Chain A
Amino acid sequence: MTEPLLAGRDLHKSFGPTEALRGADVAVRAGEVLAVMGPSGSGKSTLLHCLAGIVRPDSGSIRYQGRDLVEMSDGERSALRRTDFGFVFQFGQLVPELTCLENVALPLRLGGAKRKPAEARARQWLERLEVGDLGDRRPGDVSGGQGQRVAVARALVSDPKVVFADEPTGALDSLNGEKVMRLLTDAARGAGAAVVLVTHEPRVAAHSDREIVVRDGRVKDLELAA
């Protein structure tokens, strides 16, 4: 068995008196689409935030390509998120004042790319996600489904190793949700990126290669046990 790309072991995280994670084990292999399922309040979003280095767990370890995220400084984790990870949230993630094209190009610009090549690459991704004609429009002028596809393009434009998607279709109707999921998983697979997909909908989880279920902050990933 090859070493997982990203692995969290025995993760604990509390918010005040509330224990969100009580010993979670999870592994993400390169290029796979992993669905993290569970009822509302089970701790699946907290698990995603820990794995992505957005929050530091109270205890446990998160290893990514041989490095422990828990040991990293805030700056190092931010840099890692910028270079190696991509994110898709339920809504409201696009910068409203930037055009869709500029939103997608933003991760590249932050990585030091010049505006023109960054925007050329962003345009390719918008076309790949079938929203190439929306480049000059602002997020407020496009539909929810179109906005999510722009968000997916932004998550993938910097060739991340892992895309974290937290309820990416939660604010969409079933038709649009289906389309976004198809495009997200196809594009990620095409780019060789792993996807950690948090959802409580089996229909969305059906797009994954593998599912794990979080209950009361606990999850045992059999892949990791193996």
Chain B
Amino acid sequence: MIRDLLLGLRLAVGGGRISGQALLRLAMTTLGVALVVAVLLPAASINTLVSEQDAREAAQVPQVEPRPGVDPLYRLDWFIDGGDDYLRAVVVAPDGPNAPVPPGLDRIPAPGEVVVSPAAADYLASPAGEPARARIGGTVVGEVGKAGLGLASDRVVYVGDTAERLKGEDYTTPVYGFGAEPDGLALDITTAAFVAPVAVVLLLPLLIFVTTASRMGAAQRERRLAALRLLGVSGRQVRRIAAAESLVGAVAGLVLGGALFLALRPLIGHLDLFGMRFFPEDFVPSWPLVVVIALLVPGLAVGAAIFGLRRTIVEPLGVVRQGKPARRRMWWRWSVAALGGLLMAGTLLADERSNATPVGLALAAGSSLLLIGVAALLPWAVEKLVAGLRGGTPAWQLAVRRLQLESGTASRVVSGLVIVLAGAILIQTLVGAVSATESEGSRWQAATPVAAQVVGDDEQVDEAASLLAGTDGITAVHEVVAAPLRAAGDGSGWHGQVLIGDCAALASRAELGTCADGDVFSVGALRESSGLAMPEPGARVRFYSYGGDGEQTDGPQWTLPAEVRQVPADQAAREVSSILLVTPGALGGVTPSDAERVLYVTGTGAPARVFEAASLAVGPLSWEVDVRPALAVSDSSRLDETTRTMRGMLLVASIFVLAVAALSLLMLSIEQIVERRRPLAALSAAGVPLSVLARGSLWQNAIPVAIGVVLAVVAGIGITLPTLRYAGLSLSLDAGLIGIVCGAAVLAVLAATALTLPLLRQVTRLDGLRAE
């Protein structure tokens, strides 16, 4: 047996006399296996990646239970919104020498000292980080180590302060230690529902590529095996030799894939995915999965080679192919597709926007199974459809007859394209739907829009107002009071918010028209999406507040005036939709119980610059006030960036997979031309123009692709609809995009056909006629 395997290995490398086709097969198998391995190894590392991050984050969880002999470390989480980005600052102050040191820090920073993570340092050094830099102040004395971060992209700043200042703050917690049990891996079902089909989209074409590559040059190999049979090699030995031949490319691919993974791993630290960067050293594949990959992927290549011989009887005097191909087993193909379809259809029984785990799992499994099922059914669909094709030009006839004779291989190759198309439709539609939903809502802005909101305690708000007044670029600072309000009664009715301010302040949030003290305005629909109606004019409502335990405490009652003016939602800022705008005179002396003072800052120039000016102005107050950009300013740019990142990634993945599928198609075309060089040369000798043969080749590639594209669009929309329903998104099919992706598939066919033309030209020369 070892001798057979060694002979196979020797035949594969050819002792320096390797033929061009065998070399191409070896190179393609190696490349295909390497790509599969290079994709699978990072996937096999996700478990380690998540658990490492989980363990570090768990080690950072503060423990607030007092411990004997340990002094408390006062800690205040301070979330700094930098306009375009966020930064997490932790203000710390030890109340004794034995206070615990947070993970990732060498020591607790003293007042005026700052310790920053690498990502935070980069951000603070950039122009965008200027407002945050002004607010944090202090001197940077160190770097937060990996133990203090979850991801490499975490922007964390530890700011030293005095215990006296922190003790009096509402949100300060005394910490006596750090560390908690990791939560363990919790699979996010919604993520799984989106990620599972993406993984199928990426992997299946690669696996198809590997099987196609390992079966390349089959005819030549079979003739060589027949020669070995003549020398007394048995049929079983022939299979072992063939397996060993394929093993060379598979093992070479495994090594190359591993090397690719190791070489590219350091670059992962520079890869920015939706603002997330990972530690490259966290990408360590788990050993059981590495063993599975090392056995499974080469096994697939070898299995494909042996499977390819199943209908071929290698005899000493040549190769015999069984006349009638084995009947295609349909049961499993239909079963996979039907199971996928049933799972997807089953989710339609669940409530819309249902976040139930079984629904998510059913979607993840259903969409993956449906994609695989469609790919598995494609050969059957192509066979059935081409069986009915008749007539046409000689080129068309050559293609159709060829497909009627054997369409399975072409269909298998095309199924890679189908999966890409269907998957791209799913992902792009999801991205489009998310973007459309996120960008829903009013885009109304006052002539001088609110650029920043400053929130804080009474004393700090007063100080902030005086700091803002007279700042260059800031034209007005309006003060409003925000308070929670609900319908009077048992608390089961409408809950909302009220904004109390003078007409000028309220006019910066909505188009009020005429306004006088004593007026009340209701913004948006009278009935909320929850179905609860907003209070009618004259209705009794009650202010309330939240206790430390989250319990509601009733405040004073208030009766709405007889006239409440309606402001359409599209004539108010998005964030004030469905709330009441109240001038102080309308309250009749009632004081809300849980009021939050907010300063609306407006100014000249771009809102981002006004926000920057406001942040710089209130810098001296550091963490004692919260400065936020107006929602309309920040959200749209963040969403655009996320959408751009997603589209960019999808485009790269689509092009990669399309290129792989096109390469498979090219290999198949080369294979078929080489196998048919004799009749092609004879046809050419008889005067058949090359263009007829080339068009035949084009049709032969194009027919399965056309059928595949139709199936892909149907399957893509089919798996998209239930997923959108699950996520509560509305369908917004991008016909242009589907056209572009389909066009890319057509381009792949044209490119694969065009690249075979030189070979076609070569085999139709005299050499092809003399080759035997």
For residue B679, which residues in chain A have a CB less than 8 angstroms away from its CB? 92-96
Encode contact with B along A84-109: 1 for CB under 8 Å, 0 otherwise: 01110111111111110010001101
| B770 nearest in chain A by CB position | A45
**For the complex, is A206 an interface residue (Cβ under 8 Å from B)?**
no
Encode contact with A along B748-772: 1 for CB under 8 Å, 0 otherwise: 0000000000000000001001101
For residue A79, which residues in chain B have a CB less than 8 angstroms away from its CB? 687
**For the complex, is A183 an interface residue (Cβ under 8 Å from B)?**
no
Are B391 and A115 in touch, CB under 8 angstroms? yes
A93 to chain B, nearest CB (A): 4
For residue B772, which residues in chain A have a CB less than 8 angstroms away from its CB? 90-92
**For the complex, is B270 an interface residue (Cβ under 8 Å from A)?**
no
Say which residue of A75, A89, A98, A115 sits within 8 Å of B682 (CB atoms).
A89
**For the complex, is B683 an interface residue (Cβ under 8 Å from A)?**
yes
Are B766 and A49 in touch, CB under 8 angstroms? yes
**For the complex, is A152 an interface residue (Cβ under 8 Å from B)?**
no
**For the complex, is B402 an interface residue (Cβ under 8 Å from A)?**
yes
Say which residue of A49, A82, A92, A97 sits within 8 Å of B401 (CB atoms).
A97
- Assembled-state Cα–Cα distance A86/B686 (Å): 7
Are A96 and B391 in touch, CB under 8 angstroms? no
Interface residues of B in 653-689 (CB under 8 A from A): 676, 678-679, 682-689
| B392 nearest in chain A by CB position | A115
For residue B405, which residues in chain A have a CB less than 8 angstroms away from its CB? 96-97, 138
| B771 nearest in chain A by CB position | A92
Interface residue tally for chain B (C-beta within 8 Å): 26
**For the complex, is B707 an interface residue (Cβ under 8 Å from A)?**
no
Are A87 and B685 in touch, CB under 8 angstroms? yes
For residue A95, which residues in chain B have a CB less than 8 angstroms away from its CB? 398, 401, 676, 679, 683
- Assembled-state Cα–Cα distance A109/B696 (Å): 14
- Assembled-state Cα–Cα distance A78/B689 (Å): 7
Interface residue tally for chain A (C-beta within 8 Å): 37
Encode contact with A along B356-395: 1 for CB under 8 Å, 0 otherwise: 0000000000000000000000000000000000010110
**For the complex, is A176 an interface residue (Cβ under 8 Å from B)?**
no
**For the complex, is A80 an interface residue (Cβ under 8 Å from B)?**
yes
B370 to chain A, nearest CB (A): 33
Given A98-B398, A102-B401: A92 touches B682 (CB 8 Å cut-off): yes
- Assembled-state Cα–Cα distance A96/B682 (Å): 12
Interface residues of A in 94-150 (CB under 8 A from B): 94-99, 102, 106-107, 109-110, 115, 138, 140-141
Say which residue of B394, B682, B692, B766 sits within 8 Å of A93 (CB atoms).
B682
For residue B391, which residues in chain A have a CB less than 8 angstroms away from its CB? 115
**For the complex, is B404 an interface residue (Cβ under 8 Å from A)?**
yes
**For the complex, is A191 an interface residue (Cβ under 8 Å from B)?**
no
**For the complex, is A213 an interface residue (Cβ under 8 Å from B)?**
no
Are B398 and A81 in touch, CB under 8 angstroms? no
**For the complex, is A52 an interface residue (Cβ under 8 Å from B)?**
yes
- Assembled-state Cα–Cα distance A95/B769 (Å): 14
Say which residue of B323, B676, B686 sits within 8 Å of A96 (CB atoms).
B676
**For the complex, is B397 an interface residue (Cβ under 8 Å from A)?**
yes
| B391 nearest in chain A by CB position | A115
Are A92 and B689 in touch, CB under 8 angstroms? no
B697 to chain A, nearest CB (A): 12
Say which residue of A55, A75, A109 sits within 8 Å of B766 (CB atoms).
A55
- Assembled-state Cα–Cα distance A140/B398 (Å): 16
Given A52-B685, A81-B687, A97-B398: A89 touches B676 (CB 8 Å cut-off): no
B479 to chain A, nearest CB (A): 83
Are B397 and A87 in touch, CB under 8 angstroms? no
A108 to chain B, nearest CB (A): 10
A50 to chain B, nearest CB (A): 10
Are A83 and B687 in touch, CB under 8 angstroms? yes
| A154 nearest in chain B by CB position | B686
- Assembled-state Cα–Cα distance A91/B318 (Å): 16
**For the complex, is A54 an interface residue (Cβ under 8 Å from B)?**
yes
- Which of B401, B676, B686 has the largest count of A CB atoms less than 10 A from its CB? B686
B588 to chain A, nearest CB (A): 92
- Assembled-state Cα–Cα distance A82/B688 (Å): 7
For residue A90, which residues in chain B have a CB less than 8 angstroms away from its CB? 772
| A114 nearest in chain B by CB position | B391
For residue B684, which residues in chain A have a CB less than 8 angstroms away from its CB? 78
For residue A98, which residues in chain B have a CB less than 8 angstroms away from its CB? 397-398, 401
| A107 nearest in chain B by CB position | B686
A151 to chain B, nearest CB (A): 9
- Assembled-state Cα–Cα distance A140/B687 (Å): 23
| B678 nearest in chain A by CB position | A92
For residue A82, which residues in chain B have a CB less than 8 angstroms away from its CB? 686-688
B67 to chain A, nearest CB (A): 83
Interface residues of B in 93-139 (CB under 8 A from A): none
| B402 nearest in chain A by CB position | A97
Are B678 and A93 in touch, CB under 8 angstroms? yes
Given A55-B766, A102-B397, A110-B394: A85 touches B687 (CB 8 Å cut-off): yes
| B406 nearest in chain A by CB position | A97
B677 to chain A, nearest CB (A): 9
- Assembled-state Cα–Cα distance A138/B679 (Å): 13
Say which residue of A91, A94, A96, A110 sits within 8 Å of B692 (CB atoms).
A110
Interface residues of A in 23-51 (CB under 8 A from B): 45, 49
| A103 nearest in chain B by CB position | B679
Encode contact with A along B489-522: 1 for CB under 8 Å, 0 otherwise: 0000000000000000000000000000000000
For residue B394, which residues in chain A have a CB less than 8 angstroms away from its CB? 106, 109-110
- Assembled-state Cα–Cα distance A140/B401 (Å): 13
Are A89 and B769 in touch, CB under 8 angstroms? yes
- Assembled-state Cα–Cα distance A82/B685 (Å): 9
For residue A107, which residues in chain B have a CB less than 8 angstroms away from its CB? 686
| A78 nearest in chain B by CB position | B687
Are A109 and B687 in touch, CB under 8 angstroms? no
- Assembled-state Cα–Cα distance A138/B689 (Å): 23
| A99 nearest in chain B by CB position | B401
For residue A115, which residues in chain B have a CB less than 8 angstroms away from its CB? 391
| B680 nearest in chain A by CB position | A95
For residue A106, which residues in chain B have a CB less than 8 angstroms away from its CB? 394, 683, 688
For residue B683, which residues in chain A have a CB less than 8 angstroms away from its CB? 93, 95, 106
B161 to chain A, nearest CB (A): 82
Say which residue of B323, B401, B769 sits within 8 Å of A54 (CB atoms).
B769
- Assembled-state Cα–Cα distance A155/B687 (Å): 12
For residue A96, which residues in chain B have a CB less than 8 angstroms away from its CB? 405, 676, 679
For residue B686, which residues in chain A have a CB less than 8 angstroms away from its CB? 81-82, 85-87, 107, 155
| A77 nearest in chain B by CB position | B687
Say which residue of B401, B685, B688 sits within 8 Å of A110 (CB atoms).
B688
For residue B404, which residues in chain A have a CB less than 8 angstroms away from its CB? 97
- Assembled-state Cα–Cα distance A5/B701 (Å): 43
- Assembled-state Cα–Cα distance A77/B688 (Å): 11
Are A141 and B323 in touch, CB under 8 angstroms? yes
| A49 nearest in chain B by CB position | B766
For residue B692, which residues in chain A have a CB less than 8 angstroms away from its CB? 110
A171 to chain B, nearest CB (A): 10
Q: Could you show 9 A-B contacts with beta carbons less than 8 Å apart?
A: A49-B769, A52-B685, A78-B687, A81-B687, A89-B769, A90-B772, A93-B678, A97-B404, A138-B405
Please report A residues at the B interface, Cβ cutoff 8 Å.
45, 49, 52, 54-55, 75, 77-83, 85-87, 89-99, 102, 106-107, 109-110, 115, 138, 140-141, 155
* Other A-B pairs beyond A91-B678, A102-B397, 6, CB < 8 Å: A92-B678, A93-B682, A94-B679, A97-B398, A97-B405, A115-B391
Pairs A-B, 7 closest by C-beta atoms:
A82-B687, A81-B687, A93-B682, A92-B678, A97-B402, A97-B401, A97-B405
